[in-house]
Amino acid sequence: MTDLSADVVVVGAGLAGLSAALAAREAGASVLVLECAPEDERGGNSRFSNGAMRAVYDGVEEIDALVGGLSEAERARADFGSYSREQYIDDMARVTGYRTDPDLAEILIDRSADTMRWLRARGVRFLPLYEWHPKGPDGRVRFSGGSALETQGAGEGLSAALFAAAQKAGVRVRYGTRAVALIEDGTGVVGVRARVGREPVAFSGRSVVLAAGGFEANPEWRTRYLGPSWELAKVRGSRFNMGDGLRMALDIGAMPFGNWSGCHSASWDLNAPDVNELALGTVFKRDDYMFGVMVNANGERFVDEGADVRAVTYAKLGRVILAQPNQVAWQIFDAKAAPFVHGEYRTRRAARFTADTLPALAHKLDGIDRAKLLATIAAFNDAVETSVPFDASRKDGRGTVGLAVPKSNWAQAIDTPPFEAYAVTCGVTFTFGGVKIDTECRVLDCDGRPIPGLHAAGEMVGGIFYFNYPGGAGLMSAAVFGRIAGATAAGA
C-alpha cells in the first residue's frame, strides 16, 4: 500500500478537517486526510447540516460581499441589520450559562468574519438565511439572532465545495480508513494507526490534526456520558461519529475538557430513522415550535415555546423532550400558524395528524391523555395576552398570563381549523465534551502541557459549548479552529 505519509495527517473530512487540510497546504505542508466513511458518505456531520454560519457582520454591504451581490429585490425583501462582536459574546455567554472558555470564544468570534471570507475565496457560496427569520407585519424579513447566511446547497453544497478546493490544492484523501490509535516516538505524535477494512495500516506525519467529531452516533458512549435514556435518542448526523478521535487522544493522556454530559439536541420527527441518512438531510427537523404549543403524553405543556428566538433555543429542546414520558411530545398548530411552519413538516414520512376540530385531533394521537390535552389548550387559549400585537419577526412580548408554564412570545390561541399535530422526539446532533486545546489548537495533556505533534478542531474541542449553543456557531467553530489547527500543524 502506497501513500502512507505526509507532513500533516488529518483525521476526519468534515468542515473542521478540510479547513485544517486547506490551511496546512497553504502553509506549504503536504497533507493526507483519513476519512472513515466511504467516498459517497464523506463529509462528516457538516454534510448533514443546513449550512447556517454565525459570524460578526456590519450591515448589508458585508452580506452583499459574501453573497456575491444582492439583488434589489433581496435588499427590499429584508432588513439585514448587523451582528456585532459584543452581541456574539453576549449570546455565547448567555446560552452556555457563562461557562464558555473566554479565550476560545473570543477566537471564534474575532476570526468569524475573516473565516467567512476565507471560505468564500475557496469556493464556498453563501445565501441569506431567510428560513430562520420570519416576516414582520410589514412583509419584510427582519434578521436577528446572528446567523444571517447559510451555505448554498446546505451541508451538501458546503462539503462539495471544500472537497473540490482540497483536490485542487493537492490534498490527498483516503476513504474507508478508520483511525484507531496515535503513534508516538518518545518526542511526540508522529502518525496514526488505522484500519482499512480489517487490515491494519500505519500513516506517518510530522504532526496530526484530529477532527473526527464527537460521540453522538455511539449509543454506549451517549448513555455513559449523557445519561440514562440517551441511547434512545435519534442521531441527526453522521453514523461514523463514534468517538474514535476522542478515545485516541485520551489514550495518550489528553486532558478531557468541557461539558461531557451535554450535547446539541433538537426536536426531531418521531418517524425519523434511528440514524439519519444523507438522502433525508434535514427533512425531520421540527424547529417551528415557537408558533404553536408543545405537550407531552400527559397532555401537559412542559416548556416555554416562546422563550427566545429559535437560534438560541432549538439546540437544547431535544434534551427536554427526552425527559418526557416515553421520550415523546406533540407540537400542535392551528391555521394561523401555517404560514410560519416550514415545508419539511409536511414531508411524506412525517408523524403528522390533521383534523377540523381539536377533539378529533386528540382522538388521532395515541398514547396521550386526550381529556387533559383539550383542557390544556383551553387554558392556554384563555391566557393569551390579546392586547399585545403578534409579530413573528421579533420577540414580540405577546405572552400568556397565569399559566404554570408561560409562553413568553408569539402566543396565539389554538382556535382556527384545520389543526395539526406532529409527534416529535429527541434528535442528537453533536456532543459538547472534548479535549482541551490552547489558542493554537495544540492538544494539552493532563498536566496542561501541549502534546507535541497533536492538534484538534471541530466537535472534538471541549470548552466552547455548554448546555446549549447559538445556531450557526458549530460550523463557524469548525472552520475557525480547523484553519488554526492546520496552520499550526504545518509549522510544527
Question: Please, how many CA atoms are within 13 Å of residue 175, restricted to the half-sphere of its CB?
Answer: 9
Element (H, E) at 95: helix 85-95
**Tens digit of pLDDT for each residue in 454-489?**
999 999 999 999 999 999 999 999 999 999 999 999
Q: Is 80 helix (H, G, I), strand (E, B) or coil?
A: coil
Report how far residue 21's alpha carbon sits from residue 2's, in angstroms, rounded to the nearest whole number: 20
Res. 145: pLDDT tops 70: no
Burial class (CB in 10 A: 0-12, 13-18, 19+), 71: exposed
DSSP secondary structure code for residue 207 in this structure: E
**Tens digit of pLDDT for each residue in 173-211?**
999 999 999 999 999 999 999 999 999 999 999 999 999
Mean pLDDT of all residues belonging to the chain? 96
Q: Are 129 and 150 in contact (CB under 8 A)?
A: yes
Res. 146: pLDDT tops 80: no
Q: Are 482 and 15 in contact (CB under 8 A)?
A: yes
Q: Is 188 helix (H, G, I), strand (E, B) or coil?
A: coil
**Tens digit of pLDDT for each residue in 202-251?**
999 999 999 999 999 999 999 999 999 999 999 999 999 999 999 999 99
Q: What domains appear along the chain, each with residue ranges and CATH number?
A: 5-215+432-490 (3.50.50.60), 265-427 (3.90.700.10)
Distances (CA, A) of 469 to 317, 340, 380, 444: 11, 23, 29, 24
* Conformation bin of residue 213: beta by default, left when phi > 0, alpha when psi is -120 to 50: left
Residues 6 or more apart in contact with residue 403 via CB below 8 angstroms? 301, 379, 380, 383
pLDDT score at 2 = 55
Q: How does residue 1 score in pLDDT terms, banded at 50, 70 and 90?
A: very low
Element (H, E) at 315: helix 314-322
**Tens digit of pLDDT for each residue in 424-444?**
999 999 999 999 999 999 999
Nearest to 410 by CA among 424, 394, 434, 426: 394
Report how far residue 188's alpha carbon sits from residue 207's, in angstroms, rounded to the nearest whole number: 9
Residue with cell 468541557: 258
DSSP string, 218-272: -HHHIIIII-TTGGGSEE-S-TT-SSHHHHHHHHTTBPEES-TT-EEEEEEETTS
Distances (CA, A) of 370 to 25, 220, 250, 358: 61, 35, 49, 10
